Amino acid sequence: MEALQTQSGSPVPPLHVAIIMDGNGRWAKSRGLPRTAGHRRGAEAVREAVKAAADLGVSYLTLFGFSSENWKRPQGEVSDLMGLLRIYLRSEIKELHASGVRLCVVGERQQFAPDIVRLIEDAEKKTAANTKFTLVLALNYGGRQELVRAARRFAEDVAAGRCDPAELDEQAFAGKLFTAGIPDPDLLIRTSGEKRISNFLLWQSAYAEMVFLDVLWPDFSRTDLEAAMQEYQRRERRYGTVG
């Protein structure tokens, strides 16, 4: 099946791209640098990926920034990551807002320090009305934890008499997820050569096309995103039907 095309004849880009940004530590180690150097270079790659995705016609970009399992890393590394998150939320939001980007953060944010929570809330509020492009950051996020949270929220609604168990269907359940209102990803990319999704968007990625790249995240470029999108456009998406 040929790729869908726009009126201009070019292939239709995926509406939503999700990326597992992996390889910061290995990038740094291969250069004899501390892991923090890899994370800092990875933050630059984030900036480049957001611009490239918007330029290439993607409407939603979700980045796996910090998993719920990452708290198990050495305390010094976690502190450095939190520092980079603060820097990003303080320094990038003005430019994102000026470019028409809406920022959404998914995950259990209350585990972060109060100042980080305020920065997240302020950034979301400031960019809420923007419609050109949506950047979703998954922070303190875990797919299994998200599913448990959604089930608990629905059970609480049932216990409070706000709904009937018979009302639970896929649409209702999706409405209890962190990503409620955000379309499921069409394309999921993982860098570093690893071929697993590591507890990322388990429900939402049910029909996503997956592309695994050997490039380490700090080296990820527009060219890599274009290559992944071209691979996506070559595939036939049947959603369980016969081709």
CA neighbor of 221 nearest in space, from 33, 62, 49, 89: 49
68-103 burial code (b ≥16 CB/10 A, e <16): bebeebeeeeeebbeebbeebbeebbeebbeeebbb
pLDDT, mean of residues 213-219: 98
Q: Is 26 annotated as a binding residue?
A: yes
- Please state, rounded to an integer, the average pLDDT across all residues of the chain: 94
Greatest CA separation for the chain? 59
Residue 5 pLDDT more than 70? no
**Catalytic site residue from 22, 80, 184, 224:** 22
Considering the candidates 70, 130, 199, 219, report the single residue annotated as catalytic. 70
Taking residues 202-212, what's their average pLDDT?
Answer: 97
Question: Does the annotation flag 31 for ligand binding?
Answer: no
Cα separation, 62 vs 17, whole angstroms: 6
Rounded distance between C-alpha atoms, residue 26 and residue 35, angstroms: 8
23-77: pLDDT as tens digits: 999 999 999 999 999 999 999 999 999 999 999 999 999 999 999 999 999 999 9
- Cα distances from 180 to residues 72, 89, 159, 207, in angstroms, run 28, 23, 22, 17
- Edge-to-edge strands, sheet with 60-67: 101-106, 133-141, 60-67, 16-20, 187-190, 209-212
73 labelled as ligand-binding?
Answer: yes
Angle of helix 75-91 relative to helix 35-55, nearest 10 degrees, comes to: 30
Domains and CATH numbers, the chain: 16-142+185-234 (3.40.1180.10)
- 47 assigned to a ligand binding site: no
The two three-digit tokens of residue 51, written as one number: 């611009």
Contact 14, 187 (CB under 8 A): yes
97 carries a ligand binding annotation: no
203 is in an annotated binding site: no
- In percent, how much of the chain has pLDDT > 70? 94
CA distance 159 to 169: 17
What residues have CB less than 8 Å from 111, skipping those under 6 apart?
A: 71, 140
pTM metric for this prediction: 0.93
Segment 83-104 mean pLDDT: 95
What per-residue confidence (pLDDT) applies to 105? 98
The CA distances from residue 52 to 24, 47, 75, 206, in Å, are: 20, 9, 33, 25
Catalytic (active site) residue 55: no
> Cα dist. 64→8, 17, 134, 157 in Å?
33, 11, 14, 29
The tens digit of pLDDT for each residue in 162-177 reads 999 999 999 999 999 9
Residue 118 annotated as lining a ligand binding site: no
190 annotated to bind ligand:
yes
**Which of the four pLDDT bands, split at 50, 70 and 90, describes residue 1?**
very low
Is 67 known to sit in a ligand binding site? Answer: yes
224 is an active site residue: no
Which residue carries 């050569």 as its tokens? 193
**DSSP assignment of 30-55:** HTT--HHHHHHHHHHHHHHHHHHHHH
